[in-house]
Amino acid sequence: MTLSVSSPARGITTVTLADPERRNAISADLVGALAEALDDLGKDPDTRAVLLTHTGTTFCAGADLKAPPDPRDFVRLLRQLVTLPKPVVARVDGHVRAGGLGLLGACDMAVAGPAASFSFTEVHIGVAPAVISMPLLPRLDPSAASRYYLTGERFEGAEAARIGLVTAYAADVDAALEPILDGLRAAAPQALAETKKLLTARVLDAFDDHSDALISLSARLFGSAEAREGMAAFLERRERPWVL
C-alpha cells in the first residue's frame, strides 16, 4: 500500500503517504493513487480541507529511482494539488528530499516538526530541481533558493519556515496544526475555494508558462550519462565521481 485515506473528521480528511519501507518515494503507483484520492476529495462535500501526512521517518524521499513516474504525470499531480478547491495542509515530521519538496510546495500550508529535515539533493545525482520549481520558486526566498538548490545542503524545520518552504516550525506539530485546521473548519467552502485561487495565481502562471520546457529538461537530465552515474552511485552507496 502506498497511500491511505481517512474518513472526514469534522471536515478534515487525512491522506497518509504509507510506504515507509521505500521512504514514501514518488513512484508511478504513488502518483496515480494520490491523484485518484485528490480527485475524489475535491468533489467530496464532507471534506473541508485535506491534511497530507506520512508514516515512518521520511515524509517523501523524492523520485523512486527504481520506478520513477512519468514527469508529465508528476506535473499533473502537482498542478492538481495547487488547483484542488480544498486547502491542502502538510504535516511534516520526517525527512523531505528532492521531488518530495515539490509535493510540499504544492500544498497551501505546511507545519514542520523537530524530526523534519529538507534537502534539494538533485544536484548531487546529476539532475536539477526542474519541475518542482513551479510550485516552489514563487514562494521561496530567492537567496535561500539559490543556496539550497545549488548546494544540496540539508536544513531543518526552523530554516524551512524562515525561507517560506513551510508555514511554521513547532516542537509539537499537532498542537501547531490545531488553530490552522480549526480556522479552516470555520471557513465557508466557497470562500475557501475562491481565496485559494487568489493565493495560487502566481504558481499557476509558472505552470502555464514553464511546464513543457521543464518536463523536457527533466527528461533530458535524467537520461544523461552524468545522471545515470549519479543514480547508480546513490543506489550502490558509493561516492560520485565528481565529488572533490
Question: 36, 122, 153, 194: which one is catalytic?
Answer: 122
Are 139 and 164 a contacting pair, CB within 8 Å?
yes
DSSP 95-122: EEETHHHHHHHHSSEEEE-TT-EEE-TH
Whose cell is 529538507? That residue is 118
Three cell numbers written together for 46: 464532507
> How big is the chain, counted in residues?
244
Three cell numbers written together for 220: 533530458
Q: How far apart are CA 123 and CA 128, in angstroms?
A: 6
Is 122 assigned a catalytic role?
yes
Three cell numbers written together for 53: 501526512
What residues are annotated to the active site?
A: 122
